[in-house]
Homo-oligomer: A and B are copies of this chain.
Amino acid sequence: MIHVGILGFGVVGSGVADVIDMNIDKINMHLGQELRVKKILDVRSFSDHPMSDRITVNADEIFEDEDISIIVETIGGAGIAYDYTVRALSAGKTVVTSNKELVSTHGVELMQLAERNTCSYLFEGAVGGGIPIIRPLHRCLAANRIMSITGILNGTTNYILTRMTEEGKDFSSALRRAQEKGYAEQDPSTDIDGIDTQRKISILASIAMNGAYVDPAEIYAEGISLVGVNDIAYAKALDCKIKLLALFINPNDRKAHLLVAPHLVSKEDPICVAEGVFNAIHVHGNALGGVMFYGKGAGKMATASAVVGDILDGALHKGRNAHITPWFFPSESVVAPHMDMPVKALLRVSGHPEMETVARCFPRSTMESVPVVTDTETAFMVGKEGLLTERDLERGVKEIPGFIARMRVYSPD
């Protein structure tokens, strides 16, 4: 019998209990023994819930229960969740979570702690909800150098951008719609400012860099709040969509370029299959070539599906580490300076300047004109041949007379 304790009986925590209850026969068959949720920590009362007899307000009851070998941390955040995770791993109990904030900030310490205590810290649900990505990237692609990762990792922002594109809504009304539908929080800043995406790509990047930790704070991030209806119009004119992309580009396994920002993406690119609340993650391995993972990136049952998958892997490796390479702090950062990253961008300029006037601001790059979408402005494409850096772009746009805005353009490898 494998006994599980759940910390936090909110959306994902109760989803974990629901998935176990719904599929217990399949789970027990897979495991070759019985799995049981023994105790659940929550301060709230759940008197109507079938598992109400297992709920406790006393964390010691779970940590000191020697039957419980696996702890599900579904508290969220990096406060008490961190303390409890340290306590569980120190006691040799495997911890399973979908807490991207905690993994992306304290992953190194927690994975090393798990390894020292011959247990595991597993987090398949932290990126892409139920979409398998952590284990495929770490295990199935283990024989590859990971050359690049391109992800649409946040369903809230993708839903807002999809509504803006399909219904011509502006950002604010698309955000309100997302809030009404429950796809965006009342304080939506973690999603719309790209912070959630930043955390998720830092997790994928740390795995792709063979465990060398990438701090989310090292990753330059722009959100979607400045995307306007004219940007959407240019996207349509260029047969593109606007997507909040997380990019990881790894030319040499020493320093990787990382970026979170809205991009123009060709409609023909496979990643554009992700519309609305869906996520897609494209990974390029040096042996494999490209593969893509697609599905709903959030939601109670989808995320719980990933968490319970990890519980089973943890249970099958009871008394051992489940072969997750622990992360480590590299001697120097593996993130290349943001300003050195190659970039391609659409430049919007008010009025009708000559192309040469604008081109003079970008001496290292050729320039192309772009279809007209409104008679009050003109747009140009810069950086197509790959010589332009973020530094060049930042300098250049400061010099353009009448500069309105720039939007990065995605170039797949």
Residue numbers of A with Cβ under 8 A of B are: 19-20, 22-23, 26-27, 29-30, 124, 130-132, 135-136, 139-145, 210, 253, 270, 273, 285-296, 299, 301-302, 304-306, 308-309, 311-313, 316-317, 323, 325
Given contact pairs A135-B136, A210-B26, A289 touches B130 in the complex (Cβ within 8 A): yes
Which of chain B's residues have a CB closer than 8 A to the CB of A316?
Answer: 323
Which of B22, B27, B287 sits near A130, CB closer than 8 Å? B287
Residue contacts A-B, CB under 8 angstroms, 28 given: A19-B287, A20-B143, A27-B143, A29-B325, A30-B142, A30-B210, A130-B285, A130-B287, A130-B291, A131-B291, A132-B136, A132-B140, A135-B135, A135-B136, A136-B140, A141-B305, A143-B308, A143-B309, A273-B273, A288-B295, A288-B302, A289-B295, A289-B302, A290-B295, A291-B293, A292-B292, A292-B294, A292-B295
Which residues of chain B are within 8 angstroms of A210 by Cβ–Cβ distance?
26, 29-30
Closest Cβ of chain B to A167, distance in Å, is 17
Known A289-B130, A316-B323; judge A27-B142 contact (CB<8 A).
yes
A317 to B321, CA, bound (A): 11
Give chain B residues whose Cβ lies under 8 Å from the Cβ of A23: 143-145, 286-287
In the assembly, what is the distance between CA of A382 and CA of B312, in Å? 44
Closest residue on chain B to residue A27 by CB atoms: B143
**A143 nearest CB across to chain B (Å):** 3
* Inter-chain contact B305/A288, CB cutoff 8 Å: yes
A296: B residues at CB distance < 8 A: 289-290
Known contacts A140-B135, A142-B309, A143-B308; decide if A289 and B299 are in contact (CB<8 Å).
yes
* Complex contacts, A293 vs chain B, CB 8 Å: 291-294
Docked CA distance A27–B291 (Å): 20
Instruction: With CB as the reference atom, state the residue of chain B lying closest to A124.
Output: B140
5 closest A-B pairs by beta carbon, nearest first, are A143-B308, A291-B295, A132-B140, A132-B136, A287-B305
Chain B residue, CB-CB nearest to A140: B132
CB distance from A248 to the nearest CB of B (A): 16
B305:A144 contact, CB within 8 angstroms: yes
Closest to A296 in B: B289
Which of A130, A145, A296, A306 counts the most chain B CB atoms within 10 A? A130
Question: Which residue of chain B lies nearest to A291 when distances are taken between CB atoms in the complex?
Answer: B295
Give, as a whole number of angstroms, the nearest-CB distance from A212 to chain B. 10
Question: What's the minimum C-beta distance from A293 to chain B, rounded to whole angstroms?
Answer: 6
Contacts of A312 in B (CB 8 A): 139, 142-143
What's the Cα separation between A273 and B131 when bound, in Å? 17
A47 to chain B, nearest CB (A): 25
Are B140 and A306 in touch, CB under 8 angstroms?
A: yes
Question: In the bound complex, what is the Cα–Cα distance between A156 and B399 (angstroms)?
Answer: 53
**CB of A209, distance to nearest CB on chain B (Å):** 10
CA distance A222 to B291 in the complex (A): 28
Nearest CB of B to A114, in Å: 15
- 12 further contact pairs, Cβ within 8 A, besides A22-B286, A27-B143, A132-B132: A23-B286, A27-B142, A30-B142, A124-B140, A132-B141, A140-B309, A143-B309, A287-B301, A287-B308, A288-B306, A291-B294, A294-B294
